[in-house]
């Protein structure tokens, strides 16, 4: 996590630095240029003013007057003749000035010209304006300004920029540190919580993190923790039930096997005990088979392969399969299913659903009663009802009968070979088909299971 905040911080820092750097450089250059430009312009305007005066009166007194005026300023004026030889100067003419004068181009517009603007390397910036009287050039007014003044100005400007830059860097640093803290703090918390969750501690307490993506993540973790807690609890209960369910038949098997093994057990009794052992073993293998089935469904490794199945032949086939057992219990099965109804389903899985429901109906019905299967189309849904006239299910048990290992009358159900898993398998299979199953029942009147696909 430390790494994350560092990474985010660094990213912010470089991004802002880049942005700020570019804009500061841009701003700096602009200001610098306009300053230098102003200085150059001012110099040229001053030269032009002198020229205007000279054009009005090109006389000794005027020239002296101009020289005297300039002598007190930080600029310097030089008046040359047309051949560029020096006629007057307000101050001492240096070699650099002479060199600049030499480079003056031939044609100079009346408005003057900047002839030296290299303030960085040169000693002076300079401009020239021609003095024209009666359309004839009488001389040139050169203006010089020491570049030191500009250099001072610019270094002052640079100092300001440096100060502003450092200050904003400092602020940026502080803001970034706060920002990354604020951003990574919840992540750090969530990381710690998920670590605790992986060790089995689901008592999650996360502060509300608002309704942004982080908040959603926190909410998801809370939900995950709650679901995991429920799941772990369910798994423990399930394991406890399994071991309990396995223990009972095993106890029988062990007990009866021991009695059967005894020398003094009469052969007829032995046969009876061996019969019980086989019965319990059958129950055990059924239980294990159903558990395996459930495990496969939980893993989601089993797949539903749907195809269009005509329902009437489908139910007729299922009824044929179970009719021997029903005959033995003196039960009648009735089928009310219109011709030509087909339904998209996995015939093998769905057959198991119907077999389980019919098996329950058989187990919990009295002889000489009727079990009916009715199929109806309502809208775009198919309703299938399996109705018996058996002992029914008490109202308080109804909500729980689809739970694993839930049995209404434990001893009776077990003696009938029930594992308590049948209905939970039915429910999972129906839901895997995208359908729903519901139950209605009245004690001693009968039970109806309705599947809607």
Task: Please report, as ranges, the residues that interact with ligand ADP according to CB under 6 A.
Answer: 360-361, 364, 388, 390-393, 401, 406-409, 413, 418-424, 447
Residue nearest to ligand ADP (CB): 418
Q: Are 153 and 35 in contact (CB under 8 A)?
A: yes
Indicate the residue among 96 and 409 with the shorter CB distance to ligand ADP. Answer: 409
Q: At what angle do helices 147-198 and 2-56 cross, to 10 degrees?
A: 160
Cα dist from 185 to 74, 188, 214, 256, whole Å? 62, 5, 11, 65
Indicate the residue among 121 and 444 with the shorter CB distance to ligand ADP. Answer: 444
Exposure letters 332-359 (e unless 16+ CB within 10 A, then b): ebeeebeeeeebebbeebbbbbbebbbb
Indicate the residue among 145 and 360 with the shorter CB distance to ligand ADP. Answer: 360
399: closest CA among 349, 355, 360, 438? 438
Indicate the residue among 148 and 285 with the shorter CB distance to ligand ADP. Answer: 285
CA distance 126 to 106: 16
Indicate the residue among 253 and 408 with the shorter CB distance to ligand ADP. Answer: 408
What's the residue count for the chain? Answer: 453
**Closest approach of Cβ 279 to ligand ADP, in Å?**
15
**Closest approach of Cβ 251 to ligand ADP, in Å?**
19
Indicate the residue among 76 and 424 with the shorter CB distance to ligand ADP. Answer: 424
**Closest approach of Cβ 420 to ligand ADP, in Å?**
4
Indicate the residue among 70 and 388 with the shorter CB distance to ligand ADP. Answer: 388
**Closest approach of Cβ 439 to ligand ADP, in Å?**
8
Q: Are 369 and 331 in contact (CB under 8 A)?
A: yes
**Closest approach of Cβ 316 to ligand ADP, in Å?**
21
**Closest approach of Cβ 284 to ligand ADP, in Å?**
14
**Closest approach of Cβ 224 to ligand ADP, in Å?**
30
Indicate the residue among 248 and 342 with the shorter CB distance to ligand ADP. Answer: 248
Phi-psi region of 309 (alpha: psi -120 to 50; beta: other; left: phi over 0): beta
**Closest approach of Cβ 6 to ligand ADP, in Å?**
57
**Closest approach of Cβ 361 to ligand ADP, in Å?**
5
Indicate the residue among 263 and 444 with the shorter CB distance to ligand ADP. Answer: 444
Indicate the residue among 421 and 451 with the shorter CB distance to ligand ADP. Answer: 421
CA distance 251 to 378: 50
Q: Are 100 and 94 in contact (CB under 8 A)?
A: no
**Closest approach of Cβ 371 to ligand ADP, in Å?**
9
Indicate the residue among 180 and 365 with the shorter CB distance to ligand ADP. Answer: 365
**Closest approach of Cβ 301 to ligand ADP, in Å?**
22
């Amino acid at each position: 996590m430390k790494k994350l905040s560092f990474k985010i911080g660094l990213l912010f820092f470089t991004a802002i630095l880049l942005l700020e750097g570019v804009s500061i450089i841009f701003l700096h250059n602009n200001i610098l240029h306009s300053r230098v430009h102003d200085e150059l312009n001012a110099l040229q305007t001053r030269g032009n003013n002198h020229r205007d005066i000279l054009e009005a009166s090109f006389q000794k007194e005027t020239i002296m007057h101009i020289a005297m005026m300039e002598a007190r300023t930080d600029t310097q004026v030089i008046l040359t003749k047309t051949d560029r030889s020096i006629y007057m100067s307000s101050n001492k003419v240096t070699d650099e000035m002479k060199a600049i004068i030499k480079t003056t181009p031939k044609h100079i517009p009346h408005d003057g010209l900047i002839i030296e603007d290299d303030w960085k390397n040169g000693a002076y910036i300079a401009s020239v304006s021609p003095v024209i009287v009666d359309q004839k050039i009488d001389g040139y007014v050169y203006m010089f300004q020491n570049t030191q003044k500009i250099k001072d100005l610019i270094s002052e400007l640079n100092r300001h920029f440096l100060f502003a830059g450092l200050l904003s860097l400092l602020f940026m640093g502080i803001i970034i540190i706060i920002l990354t803290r604020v951003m990574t703090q919840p992540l750090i918390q969530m990381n710690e919580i998920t670590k605790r969750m992986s060790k089995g501690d689901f008592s999650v307490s996360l502060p509300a993190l608002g309704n942004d993506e982080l908040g959603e993540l926190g909410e998801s973790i809370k939900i995950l923790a709650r679901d995991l807690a429920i799941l772990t609890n369910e798994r423990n209960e399930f394991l406890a039930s399994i071991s309990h369910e396995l223990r009972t038949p095993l106890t029988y098997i062990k007990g009866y096997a021991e009695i059967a093994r005894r020398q003094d057990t009469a052969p007829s009794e032995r046969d009876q005990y061996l019969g019980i052992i086989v019965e319990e073993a059958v129950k055990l293998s059924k239980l294990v088979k159903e558990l395996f089935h459930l495990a496969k469904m939980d893993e989601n490794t089993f797949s539903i392969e749907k195809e269009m199945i005509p329902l009437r032949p489908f139910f007729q086939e299922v009824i044929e399969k179970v009719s021997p057992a029903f005959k033995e219990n003196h039960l009648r099965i009735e089928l009310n299913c219109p011709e030509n109804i087909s339904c998209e389903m996995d015939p093998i899985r769905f057959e198991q659903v119907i077999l389980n429901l019919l098996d329950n109906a058989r187990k919990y019905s009295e002889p000489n009663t009727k079990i009916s299967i009715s199929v109806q189309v309502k809208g775009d849904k198919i309703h299938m009802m399996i109705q018996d006239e058996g002992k029914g299910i008490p109202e308080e048990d109804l909500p729980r009968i689809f739970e694993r290992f839930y049995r209404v009358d434990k001893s009776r159900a077990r003696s009938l070979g029930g594992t308590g898993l049948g209905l939970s398998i039915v429910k999972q299979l129906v839901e895997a088909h995208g359908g729903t199953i519901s139950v209605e029942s009245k004690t001693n009147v009968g039970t109806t299971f309705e599947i809607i696909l």
